[in-house]
Amino acid sequence: MSEILFHRETGTGAPIVFLHGNPTSSHLWRHVLPAVGGPGRRLAPDLIGMGESGKPPIDYSFDDHARHLDAWFDALHLDEVVLVGHDWGGALAFDWAARHPGRVRGIAFTETIVKPMTWAEFPEAGRELFRTIKAPGAGEELMLDRNLFIESLSGLAEADFDAYRRPYPTRESRLPLLHWARMMPLDGEPADVVARVERYDEWLATTPEVPKLLLTFQPGYGTMLTPELIAWCAEHIAGLDIVAHDLVAGHHTPEDQPEAVAATITAWLDKHQLR
C-alpha cells in the first residue's frame, strides 16, 4: 500500500487509536486526545481521501478504507490497541477488531453504525436526505456540487470550519464524502457493506473478554443512535458499558462535548486497566 495515512499523535505507552468518520478528519479529536491524558500513545489518523491523507484515484469503498487503515496499523507496528470510533470510524474500528482479534484490547464508540438497518429503523429526520443521497444524480448534486455535509457543519469556530472544508476544494475531491454516505447499510444495500457489518456484529456479540464502551448523549442535531438502537446494543454487544450523559450533543459528539467524551473514555480506560 503506497499511501500512508497522515496522523496526529501525542503521549507514550500503549496505543489508543481514535478514528473519525464522514465528513471530518483527525481534527475531530483535537480536544479529546490531550484531555484523555497519559499514560497512552494517542493516535488519530485521517482516513484515505480525507483530511491531510492522500487522495488517490480509487473507489473509496469500505474495503479501500479498511485496506489503507490496515497498512497504517502495520507500518506503525500497532498491537495491543484500544480503539475509539465515531461515525464510520466506529464501523472501521469494529471491522478491524473482528479481523485482528488478537491485537485489540478494547473499543469505545459513539454515534456509529452498529448494525444493518431497515429504512424504518433509520432516524426519521435523516431518511429523506439519505434517500436523496443514494439516488443517482441527486446525490452528486448534494454532496459534490453543494458539499452538503461540510457546509452544514455548525457551531464551529471559523478556523475549525476551515480545517474541515480545506481538503475538499473541488467536486472530485469530495467523492469520498459521497461514497461514504452511500455506504450506509439500509434495506440490505450495499450488500458488501452489510456483509462486513454482519461479520463485525458477530464478533461484538461473542467477545465478552474485550471491554466495550458506548457513549450516548441527549439527542441533538443529526443524532444517529435512537433509543431503539441503544437498546439493541445493550442486548447484542458483549462486555458493553453504556454511559449515558445528560448533556445534549448532535451527531458529532466529540465536537459538541469533547470534555465529557474525554472524561468518560479516561474513566473507562482506568476501570478496565487498558493503559
Please list the active-site residues. 87, 111, 251
Cis peptide before 34 (omega within 30 of 0): no
| Dist. CA 4–CA 1, nearest whole Å | 7
| Dist. CA 199–CA 166, nearest whole Å | 35
CA dihedral 94, 100, 102, 105 (to 10 degrees): -30
**H helices within the chain, ranges in order?**
32-36, 62-75, 88-99, 124-134, 138-140, 148-151, 158-165, 175-182, 191-205, 227-236, 253-256, 258-271
- With cell 472501521, the residue in question is 92
Angle subtended at Cα 87 by Cα 225 and Cα 207, rounded to the nearest 5 degrees: 80
Q: Which of 136, 104, 120 lies closest to 211 in space, CA to CA?
A: 104
